[in-house]
Structure 1
Amino acid sequence: MFTFSLLFTGYIAANLNPFLSGVTLRPGCAHACLDHANCSSFFYDSNSGDCYLEKYVYVASDQLLGREGIQYYSQLNSACPATYIYSRYTNQCLRLYRSPLMRFRDAQPKCGEDSGHIAFIKSEDDNIQASIVANDNHVWIGLGREDINAGWRWTNGHSLGPYNNWSPGLENSSDQIYARMFSDGMWGGSGIAMELSALCEIDVEVEDTALWCEDK
């Protein structure tokens, strides 16, 4: 069963217009979200019955606008643990380990405790969702190199690929062999001694089956 879970109430993203109007039941919003390939979550206004479909999954209600009667649901994936955030649009299963701060070499085994790895970022949408989950923290991403003369590779051995989000001048800074994401979503290099929060990812497959809404 494909499930939508209530993440929080009373908050909504800024500058939204109703994606659907006149939908008075949450299951109607859930069906609309599941039918839209780019939808990962939705805001439901219990006062008006309006639905607001979202590509990304929000985690920090204090960064959103307060509005009475709002319920926010995200899609779940059975392979993504409840302590993680699942984005159907980017097919990412992510968790922020905010503390304790750790070195890059300690972040990988930390993520491995959940059979995961430090997060891989392969597109702008991946980067946006990862930045949302990072929640204004500077975090490790799973990118490194053997030395400053070597190319950047993800920890699974794959090359960086066509997408990157390096902050100007910070891709090849001296003695920086690990990659981090800043609070604005830009990337920078880091040395071996720096300690940051870990952004972990578990690889999952997309699930598209029957659905329902549940409240945590």
Structure 2
Amino acid sequence: MLLKLIVLCLVHYAPAMIRTGSGVKWKEFDNVLVSTSVTSEISNIYSGKLCLLLCLHNEACVSVFYIQKHRRCQFHDVLFMSPGDGDQEEGTEYYSLTTGACPSGYVHNRRLNFCYKLHHDKLPYDDGLADCTSRGEHFVVIDSSDKQSHVVKQITSSSATMTSSYYFDGSDAANEGQWVFHDGRPMTYFAWSPGHPANATARHDYIVASKVSNAFTWQDRRRGEAKYYICQKDL
């Protein structure tokens, strides 16, 4: 269950600095602590909401744990999705943060201006894409090594999200060997798995980030296969 918290017009440390954001308290993570992908920590903090406000002013922060008994904020650059991956820690609270047009509960990498949501229910390409477009979104666009590294880190941060391959944006269905994004832009960055693109048949025209070895490098696959998928919201 999600409890929404709105952070508005925070003035912290510097009076001239005003920022806004939206936070979500993840109730299923109460009394649970995950200690991977920690970017920084701050001690002598007396509430989870203050940790969230500090997260707002830390551009690398995607989510934050408040450890009550140590009065400590623990900042992360991913959004955890599997409470069972953590350890029991009485009095902990967990929050995620988005800003601007990125909806609450999404992953928001502010350094990359990158907003998206992982969907870990397996669907064929067309059905997954239809789900994205129903909200004005599209499959996630990976156009740099930074985005590839971040998304792979996000996928592998939770046991629930790393059990299947994912559909990413990109296809050469129109012209074999000419890979383009959904909006027609030519693709210039690729993270192909060894031996790919295989072009095994004319129908292997869609990009799948493959679970093989948990590397989530790319393969060219058919659109009828059921995979997880990631929807991106343009900001």
Q: How far apart are 1:131 and its partner, in Å?
A: 5.4
1:3 match = 22
User: 2:41 is matched with which residue: 12, 15, 19?
Assistant: 19
* 2:143 corresponds to 1:143: no
Q: Quick one: structure 1 residues 74 and 138, their matched pair in 2 at CA, closer, same or farther if it must change by over 3 Å? A: same
Match of 2:54, SS state, is helix
Cα distance in structure 2, aligned partners of 1:78 and 1:18:
23
Cα distance in structure 2, aligned partners of 1:95 and 1:84:
5
Instruction: List alignment gaps of at least 5 residues for structure 2.
Output: 1-7, 9-20
* 2:215 corresponds to 1:196: no
Q: How far apart are 1:135 and its partner, in Å?
A: 0.5
Q: Quick one: structure 1 residues 18 and 132, their matched pair in 2 at CA, closer, same or farther if it must change by over 3 Å? A: closer
Q: How far apart are 1:130 and its partner, in Å?
A: 5.3
Match of 1:53, SS state, is strand
2:150 match = 125
Q: How far apart are 1:148 and its partner, in Å?
A: 7.7
Pairing 1:1-216 to 2, within 5 Å after superposition: 1=8, 2-7=21-26, 8-9=29-30, 10-14=32-36, 16=38, 19-77=41-99, 79-82=101-104, 84-99=106-121, 101-102=123-124, 104-122=125-143, 123=147, 124-129=149-154, 132=157, 135-136=161-162, 137-146=164-173, 149-162=176-189, 164-175=190-201, 176-183=204-211, 184=214, 185-204=216-235
Q: How far apart are 1:181 and its partner, in Å?
A: 1.6
Counterpart amino acid of residue 169 in structure 1 = G
Q: Quick one: structure 1 residues 60 and 173, their matched pair in 2 at CA, closer, same or farther if it must change by over 3 Å? A: farther
Q: Quick one: structure 1 residues 43 and 151, their matched pair in 2 at CA, closer, same or farther if it must change by over 3 Å? A: same
Q: Which has the higher contact order (CA 8 A, sep 6+)?
A: 1
Match of 1:79, SS state, is coil
The answer to whether the Cα contact below 8 Å between 2:48 and 2:65 also exists between their aligned partners in 1 is no
- Name which of structure 1's ranges 107-116 and 145-154 shifts more when overlaid on structure 2: 145-154
The answer to whether the Cα contact below 8 Å between 1:33 and 1:53 also exists between their aligned partners in 2 is yes
Q: Quick one: structure 1 residues 16 and 148, their matched pair in 2 at CA, closer, same or farther if it must change by over 3 Å? A: same
Q: How far apart are 1:48 and its partner, in Å?
A: 0.5
Q: 4+ runs of 1 displaced by more than 4 Å?
A: 15-18, 130-134
Q: Quick one: structure 1 residues 17 and 142, their matched pair in 2 at CA, closer, same or farther if it must change by over 3 Å? A: closer
Q: Quick one: structure 1 residues 131 and 100, their matched pair in 2 at CA, closer, same or farther if it must change by over 3 Å? A: same
The answer to whether the Cα contact below 8 Å between 1:148 and 1:174 also exists between their aligned partners in 2 is no
